[in-house]
């Protein structure tokens, strides 16, 4: 009889693992009602993903991770630490970043420290400043649009994001009124500037006709900022008095989901053909996890990344280590999805 004590133990965790399997077997049962029907699972067609990072070109720069830091905050001490962590993560994982509103820098450089992250993120990754459509309209009316060139220069940004937010401005107690259609203001600005421009919403998304107009402009990208994620109109409403909240609460339930917008863009691309001048998209608004991002990027017939705001903010405000772990998990999940999941 063999002496079992002399047999080497090549799997020292086997006993503990098997015990876990027994104890967790009943907890692991999942109802078919919960099946994610967006995907077909194909376990036969690929090995486990490697650690190799596959880069892609987006906004004329090479990125290693198709995640975009969507514009969130700036101009406060707390915002500095959050943005610092986000910029550091962009550098580590090869992502692009959009700053929060830089309006304060049009008046003074006193808070430029809260936005000045080009050195952190590096020169090789997309990094965009941000201004609202109401501020752009005001600058254009007063022939001061050159201030945006100066803003981009001092931040060493690649270009500028114009956030289009008529509902937010209307509901904001301190909001600015927009006096002409945003598409006209952007067209006029394009005629006078060489800046690279991204246009985004702030939580409602864009409807079909707004997308039709934007897609025919020579802009770098459109960011969805769709309904389902951080909604700045609702944020402003929550800052208002109770009467205003009651009157306007139904407005915040109007908009377009990211999936709706993917379908609209695909249909418009097919309809407009060569008239489409904008061919890059940041899919954001309600992207809860890497599966949402992967699904929508695969479904969109154009170059895209997916953007997150509150999900990143939640981790960035706690510690860099927590943000790093969150992003590492998302990236590993994206690799797994690419290997084994196909959209239906």
**Mapping DSSP to helix (H, G, I), strand (E, B) and coil, where does residue 233 land?**
helix
> pLDDT by residue (tens digit) across 50-63?
987 789 999 999 99
Residue 74: what pLDDT? 64
Q: Which of 281, 285, 283 is nearest to 230 (CA)?
A: 285
**CATH topology for the 64-343 domain:** TIM Barrel (3.20.20)
Q: Supply the mean pLDDT for the chain.
A: 91
Lookup: tokens for 302: 């154009």
At 284, is the pLDDT very low, low, confident or very high (cuts 50, 70, 90)? very high
Mode of pairing for the β-strands spanning 303-308 and 61-63: unpaired
At 1, is the pLDDT very low, low, confident or very high (cuts 50, 70, 90)? very low
DSSP state letters, 85-130 = HHHHHHHHHT-EEE-S--THHHH-STTGGGT--HHHH-TTS-EEEE
For range 228-257, the mean pLDDT: 88
- Cα–Cα distance, 297 to 193 (Å, whole number): 30
Map out the domains of the chain as residue ranges: 64-343
**Helices assigned H by DSSP within the chain:** 14-24, 77-93, 104-107, 118-121, 133-141, 146-155, 166-171, 182-192, 208-215, 232-238, 242-248, 258-272, 290-299, 310-316, 320-340
User: Within 10 Å of residue 39's Cβ, how many Cβ atoms?
Assistant: 17
């Amino acid at each position: 009889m063999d002496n079992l004590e002399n047999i080497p133990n090549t799997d020292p965790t086997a006993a503990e693992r098997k015990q876990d399997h027994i104890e967790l077997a009943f907890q692991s049962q999942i109802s078919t009602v919960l099946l994610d029907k967006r995907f077909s699972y194909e376990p036969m067609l690929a090995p486990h993903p490697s650690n190799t990072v596959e880069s892609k070109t987006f906004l004329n720069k090479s990125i290693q991770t198709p995640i975009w830091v969507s514009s969130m905050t700036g101009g406060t001490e707390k915002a500095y630490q959050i943005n610092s962590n986000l910029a550091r993560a962009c550098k580590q994982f090869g992502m692009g970043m959009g700053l929060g509103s830089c309006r304060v820098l049009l008046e003074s450089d006193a808070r430029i420290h809260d936005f000045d992250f080009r050195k952190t993120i590096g020169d090789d990754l997309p990094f965009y400043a941000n201004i609202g459509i109401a501020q752009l309209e005001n600058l254009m009316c007063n022939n001061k649009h050159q201030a945006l060139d100066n803003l981009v220069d001092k931040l060493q940004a690649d270009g500028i994001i114009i956030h289009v937010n008529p509902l937010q401005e209307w509901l904001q107690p301190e909001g600015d009124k927009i006096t002409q259609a945003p598409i006209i203001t952007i067209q006029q600005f394009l005629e006078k500037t060489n800046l690279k421009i991204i246009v985004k919403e702030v939580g409602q998304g864009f409807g079909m006709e707004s997308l039709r107009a934007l897609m025919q402009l020579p802009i770098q990208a459109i960011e969805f900022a769709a309904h389902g994620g951080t909604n700045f109109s609702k944020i402003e409403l929550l800052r208002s008095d109770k009467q205003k909240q009651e009157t306007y609460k139904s407005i915040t339930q109007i908009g377009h989901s990211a999936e709706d917008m993917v379908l609209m863009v695909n249909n418009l691309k097919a309809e407009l053909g060569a008239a489409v001048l904008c061919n890059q998209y940041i899919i954001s608004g309600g992207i809860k996890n890497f599966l949402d991002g992967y699904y929508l990027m695969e479904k969109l017939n154009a170059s895209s990344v997916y953007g997150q705001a509150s999900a990143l903010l939640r981790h960035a405000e706690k510690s860099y280590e927590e943000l790093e772990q969150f992003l590492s998990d998302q990236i590993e999940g994206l690799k797994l999805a690419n290997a084994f999941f196909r959209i239906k």
